[in-house]
Amino acid sequence: MRKLLIIITVLLLMVGCSKEQETSVDNLIEVEADLTIGFESYPSSLAQSFLLKNILENKGYIVSLKNISDQNKYEAIEQKKIDVAFGCWLPDINMLDLIQYEDSVETLGINYASSEIRLYAPFYSHISDVTELNFYRKNLDRTIYVLESNNDYLYNMIDTWLETKEIDYTLQTLTVNELDQKIKEYAEENKWFVFAGWSPHYLLGKYNLRPLTGKTFIFPQQNHTIINKNYDNEEIRRVIKDFYLEPWEMNELLLILTENEVRKYNKEIENWIRRSPNLQNRIR
């Protein structure tokens, strides 16, 4: 039970957002469609849903988006209120859901596999590995910034690890907006910094940052796509099965959501697809 509680806490870090980041989805329109995507209002679900919608519309299909934030996505698929959804976390969190709805719901595989917690530094700094933290302590003002998280989970994780490794640093928690501003100011001065955060996150798409090697707090769950077993459009099924995002791609999409209003998502994501030949090669 303790393991599951820890997993769920980290999941909330990965997919959730602070009130400062919340995205309005009240005005999204549902239409009769070839495919209905159920989305939840956290950023990565929105990013994936709008991207898949755009890809399929470019192939001539009509795609509807339906907000299922307050619903059981598995039940919604079983009742054919939606056809497909993201955010089935395996092997632990949602396995019982898949078993419960196994007659009507199946997974089409992993759509994003690299959620993780790490320490990050700017590329213009020399630090690249956690073993160098003590050596570069003066360059970093003996401070590690920590992205604010639910119940100080991230702060406590990093604090415990530093103590175990006898790395002498002060931790300072910042909200996402405060950290964004701090990174911007430091980058303008080429000043070194290190912060603890998670991927995917829009900050990793906005700034030229490197993850420090030597320590990764791997999130042990993978995000799977689920679909109604009886959904019978084979081309759409193939596209969804091939739908997969690399970490840097997810970070760029999250940045698009952060910097634009809902009504501009489709256009901005369409432009992003044109700039992404790797994605186009994966999904033909």
pLDDT in tens, 10-50: 555 555 544 444 445 555 555 679 999 999 888 889 999 99
Q: Specify whether 107 is located in the same domain as 139.
A: no
SS3 content of the chain, % helix, strand, coil (to 5): 45, 20, 35
We report the CATH number of the domain holding residue 248 as 3.40.190.10
Pair (74, 209) in one structural domain: no
Q: Which residue among 198, 218, 238 closes a domain?
A: 218
C-alpha 137 chain-centroid distance: 31
pLDDT of residue 280: 79
| Residue 176: strand, helix, or coil | helix
pLDDT at position 10: 53
- Final residue in a domain of this structure, among 174, 203, 218: 218
204 in the same domain as 245: no
- For residue 12, the surrounding DSSP H or E stretch is helix 2-15
Least confident window among 22-31, 99-108, 170-179: 22-31
195 shares its domain with 273? no
Per residue in 119-136, pLDDT tens?
A: 999 999 999 999 999 999
Number of domains comprising the chain: 2
Average pLDDT rounded to a whole number, residues 79-83: 96
In the block, residue with structure tokens 């039940």: 75
H or E element, residue 76: helix 73-78
Over residues 201-248, the pLDDT tens digits come to 999 999 999 999 999 876 667 899 999 999 999 999 999 999 999 888
Residues 190 and 168 in one domain: yes
What pLDDT was estimated at residue 30?
Answer: 57
Let me know: does 51 contact 81? Beta carbons within 8 Å: no
Q: Which domain holds residue 148?
A: 116-218
